[in-house]
């Protein structure tokens, strides 16, 4: 990022250095905060989401613990405590990690409102992602945290108390949220070519949830499917943050899987960047 | 005064041979090519105030999207504020403000004031500049009462004032308004027009506006560009356009008692009567007389209970241009 030179590029009304990293952070910080507040505007919907996540949490716990019991108290390295933690943590992340593929941007491309986004001196990819991530982070308050508290108090979940593990777990969860929105951005960006993206969204929803480990941990997959999953970014959305938070993966191994998350964030961001550049020239804004 | 315009010389918009074709599905899998903008050439100087008019589907919005760098032209060249819109979209966005009457640039779920905070950051306004400019726009567009209201709860008139403020927050050199008064009541239209006149007087902003309302054009624009089927059909003053096509305003009077047709009013033509002469319509030419003069001539003959003035609309003007064999 380059500092913009000279008075010619800076009007008197815009006296913050435009190309500077600090300005970039200020803009995207405010976009993130606006997304967070948008999330807060719909508390009723958040409450509905909480009820749904908790209900399915209890179902998931009963199914998975029964499977562990049938396996003689251990299944693919998971004992009862570990599988309970897996079930509750995956439900807690579900409100913030986008596994559904739906975004505002897809709708905005379809109805032409994306024209307004293009009227701003912003990169569409970073501006969109900042707002969506902000909205998802809000969901941690009414949905993520209550489910973790509930899991610990009622569900019999135990979490590590070591601050370093928890800090790395939090980082891993944030990376998962960011990665999911960079991925669904790709889904929406196909709309630059096709306008309608519902088919791609449904495909993403089916594939991402399964390969992320929403239903069963990825590590329980048969070998070939496990290898396939690891070749995709999806395990970084749930399996990895759950492993790191619960302490099932720790030490150098934990740093390693978080490193893989960072690599996926960079790669998916790069793909989105290229798609935006190519797709913008294909865009045919709909309607008046 | 506006650095962006002085930096790019005296031309706000420069368009040559601008063309945009769309492929649309016609029947089944067959595709048909439609030319929305067809070899358009025009120049708008910095500080000008131009009405860009034409019927629905004439290519107005398509032109605006190409001017703003949202849509890539099929052929021809565009320079807006001295920049190439598609390649320099983000740089242009700092010099250009656009209001789409049909689309919102405000954050729907958040209080109105929040949109201005976000946009100030987006345009890298300094905290001081943000405070001053927001305060100025809030006062002049009278937004104070509903700054804390979520945008989705605003009335159309309130929201449009909010939209205009959002487009002007970064003090653009060029303001483009696409149907800014659509759906507004008479009072809201009037307030918006007054504000735009004051804004131009204070900052020398170049104005390009598309509208179906000839009232917008006659009050705001010094120059009219009429586009039809993607081509420029007229470029000149509004008075010249009215002279060419004879676009007239119509005085509608409701009388206290039925009266015979009001014939022979100076500079006015009786168009018709309803209700046995209770309501009568008289067309007149702004260049020759005024609504007040026509009304007073009518009042000398009959008792008027109520009245209204109908503005010629753009469709009417376009129709007349063709009826007169204007091109």
Residue bearing tokens 């508290």: A149
C-beta atoms of A285 and B65 within 8 A: yes
User: In this structure, are residues A39 and A132 in contact, taking their beta carbons and an 8 Å threshold?
Assistant: no
pLDDT of residue B133: 95
Taking CA B58 as the corner, what is the angle to CA B56 and CA B59, rounded to the nearest 5 degrees? 115
Nearest chain A CA: its distance from B168 CA (Å): 12
Residue A7 has pLDDT above 70, yes or no: no
The pLDDT > 90 percentage for chain A reads 73
B287 pLDDT band, cuts 50/70/90, is confident
Which of A1, A4, A11, A282 to substitute to test the interface with B, most B CBs within 10 Å?
A11
Report the C-alpha gap between A133 and A47 in whole angstroms. Answer: 19
Domains within chain B, CATH numbers bracketed: 3-243 (3.40.50.300), 248-311 (3.30.70)
pLDDT average, residue stretch A112-127 = 93
pLDDT of residue A44: 87
pLDDT in tens, A214-250: 999 999 999 999 999 999 999 999 999 999 999 999 8
- Quickly list DSSP for A244-266: HHHTSS-HHHHHHHHHHHHHHHH
Whether B125 contacts chain A with CB within 8 A: yes
Nearest chain B CA: its distance from A263 CA (Å): 29
Whether B127 contacts chain A with CB within 8 A: no
Minimal CA–CA distance to B250: which of B268, B265, B276? B268
pLDDT of residue B42: 93
pLDDT of residue B313: 65
Domain limits of chain A? 19-280
Q: Select from A16, A118, A288 the Cβ nearest to the Cβ of B124.
A: A16
Taking CB atoms and an 8 Å cutoff, what residues of chain A touch B94?
11, 14, 121
Whether B63 contacts chain A with CB within 8 A: no
Taking CB atoms and an 8 Å cutoff, what residues of chain A touch B118?
30-31, 34
User: In this structure, are residues B92 and B85 in contact, taking their beta carbons and an 8 Å threshold?
Assistant: yes
Dihedral angle of Cα A41, A184, A20, B133, to the nearest 10 degrees: -30
Residue A13 has pLDDT above 60, yes or no: no
CA A181 → CA A96, A116, A118, A174, A177, distances in Å?
10, 21, 19, 11, 7
B1 pLDDT band, cuts 50/70/90, is very low
Considering only A60-64, B4-8, B304-308, which range has the smallest mean pLDDT?
A: B4-8
- DSSP for residue A20: S
Residue B124 has pLDDT above 60, yes or no: yes
Taking CB atoms and an 8 Å cutoff, what residues of chain A touch B4?
11
When comparing pLDDT for B254 and A12, which is higher? B254
When comparing pLDDT for B283 and A272, which is higher? A272
Residue B184 has pLDDT above 90, yes or no: no
pLDDT of residue B9: 58
Whether A2 contacts chain B with CB within 8 A: no
A263 pLDDT band, cuts 50/70/90, is very high
For residue B300 the two structure tokens come to: 């000398």
E-strand spans in A160-203?
none
Q: Select from A26, A41, A283 the Cβ nearest to the Cβ of B109.
A: A41
Query: If you measure CA to CA, which chain B residue comes closest to A127?
Result: B122
pLDDT of residue A12: 46
pLDDT in tens, B50-96: 999 887 778 888 999 999 999 999 999 999 999 999 999 999 999 99
Dihedrals φ, ψ of B18, to 5°?
-70, 125
pLDDT of residue B326: 43
pLDDT average, residue stretch B219-227 = 90
Taking CB atoms and an 8 Å cutoff, what residues of chain B touch A125?
none
Nearest chain A CA: its distance from B53 CA (Å): 14
Residue A175 has pLDDT above 80, yes or no: yes
A-B CB pairs within 8 A amount to: 106
Query: With 0-12 CB in 10 A as exposed, 13-18 as middle and 19+ as buried, what is A224?
Result: exposed
ipTM: 0.86
Query: If you measure CA to CA, which chain B residue comes closest to A117?
Result: B105
């Amino acid at each position: 990022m380059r500092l913009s030179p000279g008075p010619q590029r800076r009007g008197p009304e815009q006296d913050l250095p435009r190309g500077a990293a600090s300005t970039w952070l200020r803009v995207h910080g405010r976009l993130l905060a606006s997304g967070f507040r948008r999330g807060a505007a719909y508390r009723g919907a958040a409450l509905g989401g909480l009820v749904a996540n908790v209900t399915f949490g209890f179902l998931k716990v009963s199914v998975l613990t029964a499977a562990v019991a049938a396996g003689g108290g251990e299944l693919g390295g998971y004992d009862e405590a570990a599988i309970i933690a897996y079930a509750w943590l995956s439900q807690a992340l579900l409100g913030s990690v986008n596994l559904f593929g739906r975004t505002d941007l897809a709708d905005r491309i379809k109805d032409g409102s994306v024209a307004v986004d293009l009227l701003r001196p912003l990169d569409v990819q970073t501006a969109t992602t900042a707002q969506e991530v902000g909205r998802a982070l809000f969901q941690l308050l009414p949905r993520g945290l209550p489910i973790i508290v509930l899991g610990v108090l009622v569900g019999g979940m135990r979490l590590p108390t070591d601050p370093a593990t928890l800090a790395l777990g939090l980082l891993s969860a944030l990376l998962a949220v960011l990665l999911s929105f960079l991925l669904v951005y790709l889904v929406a960006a196909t709309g630059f070519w096709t306008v309608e993206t519902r088919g791609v969204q449904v495909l993403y929803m089916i594939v991402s949830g399964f390969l992320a480990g929403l239903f069963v941990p990825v590590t329980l997959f048969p070998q070939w499917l496990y290898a396939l999953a690891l070749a995709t970014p999806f395990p970084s959305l749930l399996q990895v943050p759950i492993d790191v938070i619960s302490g099932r993966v720790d030490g150098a191994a934990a740093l390693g899987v978080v490193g893989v998350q960072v690599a996926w964030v960079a790669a998916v961001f790069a793909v989105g960047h290229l798609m935006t550049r190519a797709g913008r020239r294909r865009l045919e804004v709909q309607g008046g | 005064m506006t650095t962006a315009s002085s930096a790019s010389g005296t031309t706000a918009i420069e368009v040559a041979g601008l063309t945009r074709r769309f492929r649309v599905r016609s029947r089944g899998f067959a595709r048909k090519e439609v030319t929305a903008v067809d070899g358009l050439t025009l120049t708008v100087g910095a500080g000008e105030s131009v009405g860009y008019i034409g019927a629905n589907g004439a290519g107005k919005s398509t032109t605006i999207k190409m001017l703003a760098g949202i849509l890539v032209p099929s052929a021809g060249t565009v320079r807006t504020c001295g920049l190439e819109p598609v390649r320099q979209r983000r740089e242009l966005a700092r010099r250009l403000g656009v209001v789409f009457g049909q689309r919102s640039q405000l954050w729907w779920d958040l209080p109105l004031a929040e949109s201005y905070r976000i946009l100030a950051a987006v345009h890298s306004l300094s905290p001081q500049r943000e405070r001053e400019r927001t305060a100025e726009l809030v006062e002049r567009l009278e937004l104070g009462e509903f700054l804390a209201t979520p945008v989705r709860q605003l009335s159309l008139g309130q929201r449009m004032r909010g939209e205009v403020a959002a487009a002007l927050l970064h003090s653009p050199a060029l303001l483009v308004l696409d149907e800014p008064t659509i759906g507004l009541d008479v009072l809201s239209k009037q307030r918006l027009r007054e504000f735009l006149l004051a804004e131009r007087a204070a900052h020398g902003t170049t104005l390009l506006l598309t509208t179906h309302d000839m009232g917008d054009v006659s009050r705001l624009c010094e120059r009219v560009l009429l586009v039809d089927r993607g081509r420029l059909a007229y470029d000149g003053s509004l008075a010249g356009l009215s002279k060419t096509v004879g676009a007239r305003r119509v005085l509608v009077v409701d009388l206290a008692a039925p009266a015979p047709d009001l014939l022979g009013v100076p500079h006015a033509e009786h168009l018709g009567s309803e209700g046995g002469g209770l309501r009568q319509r008289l067309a007149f030419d702004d260049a020759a007389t005024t609504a007040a003069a026509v009304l007073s001539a009518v009042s000398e003959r009959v008792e008027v209970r109520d009245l209204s003035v109908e503005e010629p609309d753009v469709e009417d003007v376009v129709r007349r241009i063709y009826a007169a064999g204007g091109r």
